[in-house]
């Protein structure tokens, strides 16, 4: 099995791109990644996309985008695991290069959410829930996140303020990221006044749907060393699943897939949680941030929120998270979010994160979730 | 890179399963494959599915199906490349095992077409075309296949009868396959009387949408030898793409992706076309069969139809194709078709094809197309 490294990264600003189509967004990110890697083409393109078929009536993105970005005829197809589609594509790319069968892979995450608005978008997104046992009964992912959050508050005797640190941190970092959708700060006291979306999930607890595209280019670590000055090693890649329907979980407040995939990743990379310099986690909801920190061994059960409360998650603190704003402030272009995480982690590890730089970043953990932890795909990125 | 082998196969009858949901179809095929391999679980599940999000409002099938078939928590996600989704999943499974990162993979193709009827299904299927330059203008895949067929007839001075041999062969083989959707023979003279769907594509030129599920289990060739009496080697795996929109092709009548992926597969397996004992090709339309035989070096340009006309494609002839009925008679459950091809090829190579047996079958070529050759994924299966 060959070691794999990232030799190029590219991203476009996350937001509402009313004047661009899905393929245009994808091409801009792909072009940026090719330029960054100093190459003109790749041998395979793995697309991370969740909702192209429903948001944009456009599937079969492998063939479409390979051609549109000027790499007609290469191997190409799409990976889908709801909002973890980006990381699924990254894992497929990692395995392809690791196997030795493919030399150079582009992993391209893209989503065009603004092709559908209002109820049509909610309905499309609901296909990532259990269609028969959740969506059919009127549940949405935000409503289900609200059940999780309410249960967490009940079990541990918390009020809404337990979660505000996550959003304040995300917006503080997003405000300095030119690719972020939301660049405003959340002022002290404003979190409590945010309008409710699905009680207790407020506007400030949840990440926005968005348009976006991000790309990375992988090759074997041996070749990478000769190609670019700062290749980033993929030290671990692991995936796990949990039940799709929340009601089927033995323990609602335990993200088992996140735990399993992280444990595998720690073992593969040969690291412990305390070795991690920064963590790009899947903060689609503040409750997911709290539960994720517990599932990944950074906090005891019921204590994940405390890391935010104690101000341990900022860029210069014990465990920097969402260092470019996370899904919350950078925005959540579903199938692209996992690749944005990888791009951001690479910027940190290369020391190119500018005012968002985490000092001495050498090891980054990135984790992309599908649904409320039904899929969890975890990677460890590292520089020497 | 490890050699990879198939240790288990499972399929359900293709057809209209009005009383079963997508997950039920998938579970039946998965259970059959586990039983055939003599194992209780696998380490990863790669789902081949194209239209779950639109036909059944159900995506995120990795997590859903892993749990539903009793393998909760394993790695799982979906591969999509339109009707080549099944082969994309097979290739992902092959690469995962070849890399050494995953020991045992289930590749599960599933489609539930009857959850959408009439125009809704056509609209859903159109997402596999170019949404902006084909579907938006009223094209459907059958209408585009008709353009190809008309052009072929014009270029080579042929009439409709040039294509009938493909359908007669498919139905002759499908009639003896208990898993086939259509088990009727096409009588001499009836092909010419078939109702037109999109002139010149008639009912007998095109494969039916269908419900279906098929599964195979992969592991390393070393382990396979100890697990089952008749492991089937994956001697080659290759993928290529062509433009999504037909109008963008330099040469309408040349399936470039099929050609490229087949050439790679021949080279990887170290075989020549004449070494192939049977070919499960993507006969969604008779014109695709003709063009595929040309792209894969079994016929000269403009001569693909001649193989059918000369009766060289039957079970005991020079190049048996569609040995269990192909997409035409077995039916085309889009994302599952590529896995049905693999299952059928395994039955042939194991000598378990019963009355459909190709004598002395040792090397099988299988090729799954997305759209009209926009994606082509080719595998060579072999027994010693």
CB contacts of A257 in chain B (<8 Å) are 63, 73
B373: left (phi over 0), alpha (psi -120 to 50) or beta: left
Which among B74, B81, B248 has CB closest to A62? B81
Q: Do B72 and A375 touch (CB under 8 A)?
A: no
Q: Compute the nearest-CA separation of A151 from chain B (Å).
A: 23
Residue B118's contacts (CB-CB under 8 Å, 6 or more residues apart) are none
Interchain contact, A374 vs B60, CB within 8 Å? yes
To the nearest whole Å, the CA of B375 is away from the closest chain A CA by 6
Q: Which pair of structure tokens corresponds to residue A41?
A: 């083409």
pTM: 0.98
> In this predicted model, what pLDDT tens digit does every residue of B25-40 receive, in sequence order?
999 999 999 999 999 9
Rounded to an integer, what distance in angstroms lies between the CA atom of residue B281 and that of residue A167?
53
CA of B382, closest CA in chain A: separation in Å?
Answer: 19
Query: Can you spell out the DSSP letters for A116-156?
Result: S-HHHHHHHHGGGS-TTTTGGGT--HHHHHHHHHHHHHHHH
Q: CA nearest B174: which of B344, B342, B48? A: B344
Over residues B156-177, mean pLDDT: 98
Whether residue A59 and residue B88 make contact (CB cut-off 8 A), yes or no, is no
Chain A residue with minimum CA distance to B100? A1
Residues of chain A with pLDDT under 70: none
Q: What confidence tens digit (pLDDT) does each residue in B142-163 have?
A: 999 999 999 999 999 999 999 9
Instruction: Tally the residues of chain A.
Output: 384
- Gap between the Cα atoms of B124 and B116, Å rounded: 9
When scoring A2, A60, A71, A129 by the number of chain B Cβ atoms within 10 A, the one with the most, hence best to mutate, is: A60
Output the DSSP codes for B70-113: T-TTSEEEEEEBTBTHHHHHHHHHHHHHHHTS-SEEEEEEEE-G
The kind and range of the H/E element at A376 are strand A375-382
C-alpha to C-alpha distance for A289 and A301, rounded to whole angstroms? 13
Residues of B in contact with A44 (CB under 8 A): 239
- State mean pLDDT over B39-57: 97
Of A369, A111, A291, A364, which Cα lies nearest the Cα of A356?
A: A364
Q: What is the pLDDT of residues B329-372, one digit of tens each?
A: 999 999 999 999 999 999 999 999 999 999 999 999 999 999 99
Enumerate the residues of chain B whose CB falls inside 8 A of the CB of residue A96.
95, 99
Mutation for testing the B interface, residue in A95, A371, A380 having most B CBs under 10 Å:
A95
Which residue from A minimizes the CA distance to B97? A99
Residue A311: its pLDDT value, please?
93
- The residue of chain A with its CA nearest to that of B236 is A101
**Beta strand extents in B51-198 (DSSP E only):** 75-80, 104-111, 196-198
Cross-chain residue pair A56–B131, CB shorter than 8 Å: yes
pLDDT of amino acid B188: 83
Cross-chain residue pair A60–B257, CB shorter than 8 Å: no
CA of B260: which chain A residue's CA is closest?
A: A73
Q: Which among B59, B155, B56, B37 is positioned nearest to B106, based on CA atoms?
A: B37
Q: Which runs of E-coded beta strand occur in chain B?
A: 4-11, 44-48, 75-80, 104-111, 196-198, 201-202, 212-220, 232-241, 278-280, 363-370, 375-382
Asked if the Cβ–Cβ distance from A53 to B58 is below 8 Å, we say no
Q: Do A101 and B54 touch (CB under 8 A)?
A: no
Percentages of chain A per state (helix, strand, coil), in multiples of 5: 45, 20, 35
Q: Give the model's pLDDT for residue B64.
A: 98
User: What confidence tens digit (pLDDT) does each residue in B263-314 have?
Assistant: 999 999 999 999 999 999 999 999 999 999 999 999 999 999 999 999 999 9
In this complex, how many residue pairs, one in chain A and one in chain B, have their CB atoms less than 8 Å apart? 218
**Segment B117-145 mean pLDDT:** 95
d(CA B70, CA B89): 20
Q: Which residues lie closer than 8 Å to B31 by C-beta, 6 or more apart? A: B10, B69
CB contact under 8 A, B260 and A73: yes
Check residue B189 and give its pLDDT.
87
This model of the complex carries an ipTM of 0.98
Between chains, do B75 and A241 touch, taking CB under 8 Å as contact?
yes
Nearest Cβ partner of A81 from B60, B243, B375?
B60
Average pLDDT over residues B163-188: 97
**Can you give the pLDDT at residue A359?**
98
Dihedral over Cα of A79, A81, A86, A91: its sign: negative
CB nearest A63 (choices: B67, B96, B241): B241
Beta-carbon contacts of B323 under 8 Å, excluding residues fewer than 6 positions away, are: B173, B278, B280, B315, B344, B348, B353, B356, B358
- Which DSSP state fits B207? P
| A244 token code pair | 């799709």
A159 secondary structure, DSSP code: -
Strand, coil or helix: A37? helix
- Smallest Cα distance from A33 to chain B, Å: 21
Q: Which residues of A are less than 8 Å from B371 in CB distance?
A: 60, 63
Query: Which residues have a Cβ under 8 Å from the Cβ of A136 and sit 6 or more positions away?
Result: none
């Amino acid at each position: 099995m060959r070691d794999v490294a990232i030799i190029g990264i590219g991203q476009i600003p996350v937001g509402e791109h009313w004047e661009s189509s899905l393929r245009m967004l994808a091409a801009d990110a792909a072009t940026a990644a090719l330029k960054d890697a100093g190459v003109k083409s790749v041998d395979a393109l793995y697309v991370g996309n969740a909702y192209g078929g429903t948001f944009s009536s456009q599937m079969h993105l492998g063939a479409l985008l390979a051609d549109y970005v000027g790499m007609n005829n290469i191997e190409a197809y799409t990976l889908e695991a709801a909002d973890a589609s980006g990381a699924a594509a990254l894992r497929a790319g990692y395995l392809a290069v690791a196997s030795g069968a493919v030399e150079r892979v582009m992993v391209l995450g893209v989503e065009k959410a603004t092709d559908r608005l209002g109820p049509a978008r909610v309905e499309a997104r609901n296909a990532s829930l259990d269609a028969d046992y959740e969506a059919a009964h009127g549940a949405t992912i935000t409503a289900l996140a609200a059940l999780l959050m309410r249960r967490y508050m009940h079990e541990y005797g918390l009020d809404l303020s337990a979660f505000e640190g996550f959003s304040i941190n995300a917006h503080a970092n997003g405000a300095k990221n030119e690719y972020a959708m939301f660049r405003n700060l959340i002022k002290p006291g404003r979190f409590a006044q945010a309008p409710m979306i699905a009680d207790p999930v407020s506007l400030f607890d949840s990440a926005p749907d968005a348009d976006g595209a991000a790309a990375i280019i992988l090759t074997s670590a041996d070749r990478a060393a000769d190609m670019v000055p700062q290749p980033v090693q993929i030290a671990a890649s692991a995936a796990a699943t949990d039940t799709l329907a929340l009601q089927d979980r033995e323990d609602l407040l335990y993200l088992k897939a996140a735990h399993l995939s992280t444990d595998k990743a720690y073992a593969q990379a040969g690291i412990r949680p305390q070795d991690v310099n920064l963590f790009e986690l899947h903060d689609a909801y503040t409750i997911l941030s709290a539960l994720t920190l517990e599932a990944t061994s950074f906090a005891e059960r019921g204590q994940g929120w405390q890391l935010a409360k104690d101000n341990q998650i900022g860029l210069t603190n014990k465990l920097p998270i969402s260092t470019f704003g996370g899904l919350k402030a950078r925005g959540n272009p579903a199938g692209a979010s996992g690749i944005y995480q990888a791009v951001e982690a690479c910027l940190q590890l290369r020391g190119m994160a500018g005012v968002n730089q985490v000092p001495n970043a050498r090891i980054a953990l990135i984790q992309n979730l599908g649904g409320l932890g039904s899929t969890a795909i975890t990677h460890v990125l590292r520089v020497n």
